[in-house]
Amino acid sequence: MTETMIPHSTGDGPAEARSRQMLATMLAFRDGNFSVRLPAEWDGVDGQIAAAFNQALSHEDQLSREMERLSRTVGREGRLKQRMSVPGAIAGWVDKVDCFNTLLDDLVRPTTEISRTIGAVAKGDLGQSMEPEVDGRSLEASSFAQQSS
């Protein structure tokens, strides 16, 4: 995390103090601290800036906590059907959630398909098969070697 010193002037008035607090909060956010907030009791334009910025921080904090949850439930516990859920997300926040869920779907699909096929074979159903390709590319060793060269 980057430590940024904010110069302090002894003659700061209320507007300068608020600007310094906004800067400190924005720098903390830039450095990955999603728990910081600007004062909710500010009024006027500063209050509107604080409310909007705090809401953006809240959205990013919620996304971060969801990613941590999915890392645990999907990655460690193997609950492959879990997906990101962020109630109240709008616009670009929804796009971010959708992209992450699509990534999970794409990563989980081969594992699910392999598990299904192995399970069927273990039960004696030798008629099950898997498509040996991903995104139209063959997974055969010879074709992989050709693509790598």
Beta-carbon contacts of 97 under 8 Å, excluding residues fewer than 6 positions away, are 63, 66, 84, 85, 86, 89
What per-residue confidence (pLDDT) applies to 8?
Answer: 54
Which letter, b or e, does each residue of 47-60 get, where b requires 16 or more Cβ atoms within 10 Å of its Cβ?
A: eeebeebbeebebe
Cα 88 to Cα 40, 65, 73, 105, 138, distances in angstroms: 20, 15, 22, 22, 40
* Residue 15 tokens, joined: 């507007």
User: pLDDT digits over 118-135, tens only?
Assistant: 777 788 777 766 666 656
Whole-angstrom distance, CA of residue 53 vs CA of residue 36: 10
What per-residue confidence (pLDDT) applies to 106?
Answer: 85
User: pLDDT digits over 12-54, tens only?
Assistant: 688 888 999 999 999 999 999 999 999 999 999 999 999 999 9
Number of C-beta neighbours around residue 12 at 10 A: 12
Residues of the chain with pLDDT > 70, as a percent, come to: 77
Query: Averaged over 87-116, what is the pLDDT?
Result: 85
What per-residue confidence (pLDDT) applies to 28?
Answer: 95
Range list of β-strands (E), 40-84: none
